[in-house]
Structure 1
Amino acid sequence: MEVDIMGDFPTRINVGVRKRTREITEKWIVINYDYVPNYCKSCKLQGHNEKECFIIHPELYPK
């Protein structure tokens, strides 16, 4: 499954399951992410979030 890192990650997906009778039933599957990288939506770089961004908060940049 692919997700857009700029958007919200889905917490569940709907999956169609075909039974032996060829009937299809729907089942909701909960998604647990092992690792979600930090991503800054302002500067579009991984490794930090918007609270730690040097572009938004230049005072955080080590001199």
Structure 2
Amino acid sequence: MIGQPLKMDASVASLCRPNVARFCVKVDVTKTLLKRFWIGNSSSRHWQYITYKDLPSFCSYCLMLGHSLDECRVLHPKLFKKDTNVGKKQQTQSSKKKDRIGVDKFKGKLSEP
């Protein structure tokens, strides 16, 4: 079984296009998705291939939706450290612009030390 059926295309319900079937199905993304299934009756049998549409990104490492395994911050923390260092560099540069008594040289206003 692919998953729990949620909706079906009107053409499937009316049987006006028997060669195409579109369903909205709830699937367990932690399990391997089926690529095909065996369909048949006494007169006709064949493998039916499945095309998935609009699947969300899923990380099999941290089990979260929204990013793939290649983009996982838990699995690849070094890839994302650069982004946080950029923000820290900007903060330290802006703090260097203030002199020792806490006066912002550009605005001429007192700021908290």
Superposed pair shares fold, TM > 0.5:
yes
Q: Which has the higher contact order (CA 8 A, sep 6+)?
A: 1
Larger helix percent: 2
TM-score (norm 2): 0.43
Letter in 1 for 2:64: L
Unpaired segments ≥5 residues, structure 1 = 18-22
Give the CA deviation at 1:44: 0.4
Letter in 1 for 2:40: G
Give the CA deviation at 1:24: 5.0
TM-score (norm 1): 0.68
Unpaired segments ≥5 residues, structure 2 = 4-26, 85-113
Aligned length in residues: 58
Tell me which structure has the larger Cα radius of gyration.
2
- How large is the Cα RMSD of the aligned pairs? 2.0
Match of 1:34 among 53, 59, 62: 53
Within 2, Cα distance between the matches of 1:58 and 1:38? 19
In structure 2, the partner of 1:5 is 29
